[in-house]
Amino acid sequence: MDCKLSVIIPCYNCENTLPETLDCVLGQSLHDEIQIITVNDGSTDRTEEIIGRYAASHPEITPVHKENGGVSSARNAGLKAAKGKYVIFLDADDLLTPSSCGELYKAMEKRGADCAVFRLSRFGFGGSEYNPVAEKLAKRDNIPYNDTELLWTFLTGNKCFRRDALLNAAAEFPPLTYGEDGVFWVSFLMKGRPVITGVYSAECKYRREDPAVRASVTQTMKLSLVSDYFTSCSLVLDALDSDELRNEMRLKICRTVTNEFYRRLWQADEPVLDALAQGYGKYFSLLSPQDTSRLFAYDADIGKPVFSRKYAADNPRISVKVKKPSEEFLRSLYSQTMPLFELLTENAGEYSGFENVSSGRAKAPVQLSFSGSEKLDPRLLRAVLLLKMKFPFSVLPSGILKKAASIYLK
């Protein structure tokens, strides 16, 4: 039966988060006119059992079962099963605020829109924050399909699409493990030239898992992931229809490499770093001086990344002093989003696998001391460095620096 809106949820080994996601969709103000499509992509945990239990008591749930083929094939299968006038793609660990579906339907009907962009917030590992680009776009009633800001919000979770518009544009997710959202989104924009509106009263809550507990695909550093990312970049650039958009996309590629890959330098091996250096260099060389300045302003704590663990160890910006670091402390330290640090500890020989550990004198201009038992906010070192750059005070005790950074993060 046709309905107002279909929510497509690709499901793979998501037993811990799927119930909360299903409950949030079932609790929508528009719940009695929503089709919920769960696409079980060959899960090996209790995901299939959970879907069956929910579907037995909720006729609005349409279960789809398939062999494992990745999130793109799962979303494509869900789209084929969709009956709603509008479609949302929601991951099995993400949430929608209770009135989101109703607000999206009302706004799109009123404005005759093919697509709506709504608010996007992140929660979980790394703290909570709103995506600033989605915040701005969600406040606008009319957004041209070729607006450069649309290139900075590839995630599909905070988009609602008119299903006919997707079908007319022949929009499909490509078989990639990273960057598939961007290819789908830009293909839809360029082929469909949709009428786009912002809806500030709707919100997608994007969950970020602690990589020490359960790393998502985008938190895993593998050569195949890097290869898929640069493949997606080529596909997006080929689809764009103006030099202005292509230039903006090259800038975004460089920034994404810095933020999504380089900031996790200590999880990467040499083949991954070599591939990142080659890809980054290719697109960085095509940036204008103005765009280069924009890039470095975005990531002032990093500047131009050098894809070498040895370079990072030899050129730290922060010295972290710890007598006896616990395993939890070390996991949180090497998950920091500012990787240019050194670890100074008395028992440095126990950590010979890391190039940036020593028992010698501090080399960095900023020095912090820790007990080694606490778990660090993954943004802490970055916040300390940004504060130091913003307020060039000469010397402050370690405790005051850490306290100021904690307040800054809040």
Residue-by-residue DSSP string for 28-56:
STTGGGEEEEEEEES-SSSHHHHHHHHHH
What is the reported pLDDT for 242? 97
Q: Which amino acid is at 8?
A: I
**Residue 376 to residues 337, 372, 382: CA-CA distances in angstroms?**
11, 10, 12
pLDDT in tens, 72-100: 999 999 999 999 999 999 999 999 999 99
Better-predicted residue by pLDDT, 218 or 138: 138
Q: Is 3-208 CATH 1.10.287.890?
A: no
**Arithmetic mean of pLDDT, 138-144:** 98
Q: CATH 3.90.550.10 in the chain, residues? A: 3-208
pLDDT digits (tens, 9 = 90+) for 365-386: 899 999 998 889 889 999 999 8
Confidence (pLDDT) at 390: 78
Check if the beta carbon of residue 28 is closer than 8 Å to that of residue 102: yes
Token pair for 379: 């943004």
Model confidence at 359, in pLDDT bands (50, 70, 90)? Answer: confident
11 strand-pairing partners: 40
Average pLDDT over residues 205-220: 65
Judge whether 157 and 242 are in contact, CB under 8 Å: no
Whole-number pLDDT of residue 405? 75
**Confidence at 52, pLDDT banded by 50, 70, 90:** very high
> Of 299, 323, 226, which Cα lies nearest the Cα of 269?
226
Q: pLDDT value at position 247?
A: 98
Three-class SS of residue 94? coil
Flag the least confident range among 185-194, 279-288, 357-366: 357-366
pLDDT in tens, 91-129: 999 999 999 999 999 999 999 999 999 999 998 876 788
Name which of 262-271, 310-319, 348-357 the model is least confident about: 348-357
Q: How confident is the model over 255-273, as a mean pLDDT?
A: 94
Q: Which residue has the higher pLDDT, 214 or 159?
A: 159
Largest CA distance in the chain: 71
Helix (H) or strand (E) holding 265: none
pLDDT above 90 (res 23): yes
Residues with Cβ within 8 Å of 190's Cβ and at least 6 positions away in sequence, in order, are 145, 239, 240, 241
pLDDT at 396: 62
pLDDT for 228-244, tens place per residue? 999 999 999 999 999 99
Question: How far is it, in rounded angstroms, from Cα 308 to Cα 262?
Answer: 10
- Residue 11 is given by DSSP the state E
Query: What is the end-to-end Cα distance of the chain in Å, rounded?
Result: 47
pLDDT band at 11 (very low <50, low <70, confident <90, very high): very high
**Over residues 10-37, mean pLDDT:** 95
CA-atom Rg of the chain in angstroms: 23
* Per-residue model confidence as pLDDT tens digits over 291-312: 999 999 999 999 899 999 999 9
Write the DSSP symbol of residue 317: S
Taking 50 as the threshold, does the pLDDT of residue 283 lie above it? yes
**Average predicted confidence (pLDDT) for the chain:** 92
Pull the structure tokens for residue 164. Answer: 């006919």
User: Distance between CA 278 and CA 89 in Å, rounded?
Assistant: 33
The pLDDT value given to residue 212: 58
What is residue 394's predicted lDDT score, i.e. its pLDDT?
Answer: 53
Is pLDDT at 217 greater than 80 in this prediction?
Answer: no
Q: Which of 367, 263, 373, 359 is nearest to 307 (CA)?
A: 263
In whole angstroms, give the CA distance from residue 256 to residue 201. 28
Which of the four pLDDT bands, split at 50, 70 and 90, describes residue 397? low
More confident residue, 313 or 393: 313
94 in Cβ contact with 207 (< 8 Å): yes
Range with the lowest mean pLDDT among 100-104, 161-165, 345-349, 373-377? Answer: 345-349
pTM for the structure as a whole: 0.91
| Lowest mean pLDDT across 36-45, 252-261, 296-305 | 296-305
